[in-house]
Structure 1
Amino acid sequence: MQNTTNLITNDAVVMGLLAAILGLVFITEKSEHPFWKKFYKFVPGLLLCYFLPSLLNSFGLIDPSSSKLYFVASRYLLPAALVLLIISADLKKIAGLGSKAIIMFLTGTFGIMIGGPIAIILIDQINPDLVSGDVWRGLTTVAGSWIGGGANQAAMKEVFNVDDNLFSAMITVDVICANIWMAILLVMAGNQKRMDKWLKADTSSIDDLKETVTKYEKENARPITTADVMLVIAVSFGLTGLAHFFSDKIAPWIQINAPELAKYSLTSGFFWLIVLVTTFSLIASCLPATRRLEHAGASKVGSGFIYILVATIGMNMDITAIFDNPGYFFIGITWLSIHAILMITVAKLIRAPLFFMAVGSQANVGGAASAPVVAAAFHPSLAPVGILLAVFGYALGTYGAYVSGLMMQWAANFGM
């Protein structure tokens, strides 16, 4: 049943509000008015597309728990967007970005793994009550989510026998802290040149990729016809449907015949959906017919789907929830701060561009739903990098979270 205490309970109305918010942001972002030009110099438009919908939830106007919009966006629009962004990508150029992308991703994983135990030890010195008892067990589920995704998080709940009430509190910590970090990354993306200058990064490979894509778009740009639009829709949702069909067969089969593989996320339908749609898209990107879809604005349609996803992610965030368990949020913020310090330090040492740092981090903390969002904030052509790294994160999620959980158990006992 829908929550009647909320002012708006109709998904059609909520979708209309989200669409209006997105339209308002884009209109003002392109405005020549001095106020807006100055405003968007410091605040990325993508951040507002995420933050403004959260106010609808925070002020009690809507109830995200009774809405199907995020489910629709994450299960239908996200895979379709991945199709359009991947088939439009210059994969040879992406492969040539070098090893720094992998180094930053693995640094992000390591930062999450050690961040939890270090946060427990530090906070135990300040307020032992915050990390007493079975709190460490609950934090293992956060590690599962931040290294891999929802399936890895559920696996940690079972492995470490986490109480349901504690698990519920940790989900809130996971969502709020991860979204705050995502907002910080988007702000950084808006100041990319200054950050790269400070990091003394070599951005030539990324610049070459952007230049190649921009040149390709200009050379092949043409008026878009209705047939073009329908072909874009046919390919994107066709491959999405195909991925759903096989994921609905594969995940339950593994669940029945090899349930022990759940710890590797192989019983998760969403995991298989992302892996399959990525695989199908990579194959399709090699075909000249699908590559030509970019002439019909495929990546722009895909970006539009991503923005709708961003708005639905935002509407699930209740910023007032921070006050329900402030101590737990302090642990989460300390944890992500350790992760951030490590990421920035390594990026500085190897002179990695901000893009690799941001996407390497978000591929861990946010996963497949938000890593391409952060990547696309730098340039739409870079979204596939976020997708591929996020899929890699699912594979590492359970391993990393389990080891991190053991370290957190040791850290909790260390302070006793």
Structure 2
Amino acid sequence: MITSGFMYIASLTLFAGIVASLEMRYKDTAFFKYVPTPVVLYIGCMIFATFDLWAGNDEIRTAYRTVRGHIIPAMIFVMLLRCDIKKILRLGPRMLLGFFCATFTIMAGFGVMFHFMKGGFAPEAWKTFGALAGSWIGGTANMVAIQGALGIDDSAMGYTLLIDNVNYSIWVILLLATVPLAHAFNRWTRSDTHLIDELGTQLAANQERARTNIEAADIALLFGLGFMASAVASASAAILSPKLIEAFGKSDFLSVSTLSVVIATILGIVCAMTPLGRVPGSPQVSMSLLYLMICLIASRASFKELTDAPYYLMAGFFILAVHAVLMAVLAKIFRLDLFTCATASLANIGAVASAPLVAAAYKETLVPIGVLMALMGYVFGTFGGLAVAKMLALIAGV
């Protein structure tokens, strides 16, 4: 059994590195094609925790709180350096409309589901579903950020991650299965698709001109920027939180951890519009931090606690059903094509890792659109998840 805090962090970091390396080497195999690295990391660390590989002593708890508290804002900041708002705005009104329709319908799905099913959940389930909403609007990093912001116990995240992985995987399959129905759907909504093809070609050309080689200096700079952004965000939040609580009253949404994430998000969006946004390597650095965060979260969970899994999976399908119905209605009203709807949906629910899959299923040159729409999710995911958490808290009467 591991009892040292440093050994605990080192073992999680090593495990994340081993799994990521295996995925890179065997990425074309059937296993990693259908079981992404975050799922392997989470299940693996849950197994370790279930068999008590590490102790629950003060040293390990301190190491966990310290590392997690500083990594979350750093990860959010580095991740958002890719999200140049000017590039995102090039998507045009129709693509932006499609994205926000998907975001709105997902948020509505959470509200409708919680209204009807809240009686079967734990008292603080509004927090965990808020974290899931962060993932289904942005990505896993946003979910982790909301978990830290709302102070959600790691043991309570087991069901959330179960929904995030199982329901999401089935949703990807369903969206890919709709590709042959595109022409019929587009006739029904009376949409025009020629502008999408032109935009995809233009974005692909722009990406080819960008510098892609990553130097050691780039990695060092990104890590330094991320940790400094985390330090600035934490220090600023510590000053602002007491003042805001004094003005508006005590709330989970005005805590130091919540404000740290919000400030780091704003810093990332602003810096993405400067030359810092062109430093290559931000996806690799932010993903490395994310992998460690997933391992940290899973290290505090256990399979022994997953007793109500079917009810939570049903809740996930309820959310997706509401999202699908409302999205179809809005597509008819705004004359959105199936590519826009499907890509926007997966850009929210699946983020950068999977949005290009649906885009490529239509046409390879459309992949950059899927990537940009998914990056938009990173920008709005944390704010959207916190808004959903607030809505669910009101429904729960908290």
How far is the alpha carbon of 1:384 from its aligned partner? 5.1
Partner of 1:88, secondary structure, is: coil
Alignment equivalent of 1:178, drawn from 131, 151, 160: 160
Distance 2:112 2:242 in 1: 34
Q: Is the 8 A contact 2:234 2:260 kept in 1?
A: yes
Q: Distance in 2 between matches of 1:214 and 1:318?
A: 47
> How far is the alpha carbon of 1:84 from its aligned partner?
1.8
2:70 is aligned, of 53, 66, 76, to: 76
Secondary structure at the aligned position of 2:240 is classed as: helix
2:351 equivalent to 1:375: yes
Structure 2 CA distance for partners of 1:223 and 1:254, relative to 1, 3 Å: closer
Matched AA of 1:112: F
* Aligned position for 2:126: 143
- Preserved contact between residue 355 and residue 375 of structure 1 (Cα < 8 Å): no
C-alpha separation between the residues in 2 aligned to 1:24 and 1:206?
40
Question: Could you tell me how far 1:72 is from its partner in structure 2?
Answer: 4.0
Report the residue type matching 1:46 in the other structure: P
Q: Using the alignment, how far apart are the partners of 2:36 and 2:76 within structure 1?
A: 22
2:12 alignment partner in structure 1: 18
Aligned residue for 1:375, secondary structure, equals coil
Question: Which residue among 366, 380, 385 is the counterpart of 1:393?
Answer: 385
Structure-2 change in CA distance of 1:175 and 1:308 (3 Å): same
Match of 2:246 in 1: 256
Q: Distance in 1 between matches of 2:84 and 2:149?
A: 31
- Pairwise CA distance, 1:47: 1.6
Unaligned regions of 5+ residues in structure 1, if any? 1-6, 121-130, 155-166, 362-373, 410-416
**Distance change >3 Å, CA 392–CA 43, structure 1 → 2:** closer
Structure 2 equivalent of residue 337 of structure 1: 317
RMSD: 3.9
From the superposition, tell whether residues 46 and 337 of structure 1 become closer, same or farther in structure 2 (CA, over 3 Å): same
Aligned residue in 2 for 1:59: 51
CA deviation after TM superposition for structure 1 residue 86, in Å:
1.6
Structure-2 residue corresponding to 1:243 = 233
Number of aligned residue pairs: 345
Q: Is the 8 A contact 1:44 1:190 kept in 2?
A: no
Shift of 1:40: 1.9
CA distance in 2, matches of 1:151, 1:45: 22
- Secondary structure of the 1:273 match is helix
- Give distance in 1, aligned partners of 2:257 and 2:323: 28
Gaps of 5+ in 2: 132-145, 187-192, 332-337, 357-370
Between the aligned partners of 2:73 and 2:220, the Cα distance in structure 1 is 17
Among candidates 107, 110, 120, match of residue 109 of structure 1: 107
For the residue of structure 2 that corresponds to 1:291, the secondary structure is: helix
* Partner amino acid, structure 1, of 2:99: A
Contact 2:81-2:277 at 8 Å conserved across structures: yes
Q: Residue 179 and residue 359 in structure 1: after superposition, are their counterparts in 2 closer, same or farther (change >3 A)?
A: farther
The reply on whether 1:267 has 2:254 as its aligned counterpart is yes
1:405 is aligned to 2:391? no
Distance of aligned partners of 1:215 and 1:267 in 2 relative to their CA distance in 1, 3 Å threshold: same
Give the structure 2 partner of residue 230 of structure 1: 220
The Cα shift of 1:276 comes to 0.9
Q: CA deviation at 1:385?
A: 1.9
Query: SS at 1:236's partner residue?
Result: helix
- Which residue of structure 2 aligns with residue 368 of structure 1? none
Contact 1:84 1:298 in 2 (8 A): yes
Give the aligned residue type for 1:280. L
Question: 8 Å contact 2:149–2:261 — kept in the other structure?
Answer: no
Whole-angstrom CA distance in 1 between matches of 2:327 and 2:181? 7
CA distance in 2, matches of 1:152, 1:298: 23
What's the CA shift for 1:104? 2.3
Cα offset, 1:237, TM superposition: 1.7
Distance in 2 of aligned mates of 1:111 and 1:102:
14
Cα gap change, 1:360/1:233 in structure 2, threshold over 3 Å: closer, same or farther?
closer
| Aligned counterpart, 2:212 | 221
Shift of 1:243: 1.1
Q: What is the aligned partner in structure 2 of residue 281 from structure 1?
A: 268
Question: Is the Cα contact below 8 Å between 2:102 and 2:341 reproduced in 1?
Answer: no
1:243-300 Cα offsets, whole Å, 9 max, x none, are 111101111222234315x2xx442112211111111222222222x13322xx2332
Structure 2: distance between partners of 1:57 and 1:257: 42
Please report how far the alpha carbon of residue 191 of structure 1 lies from its aligned counterpart in structure 2 after TM superposition: 5.5
Describe the SS at the equivalent of 2:53: coil
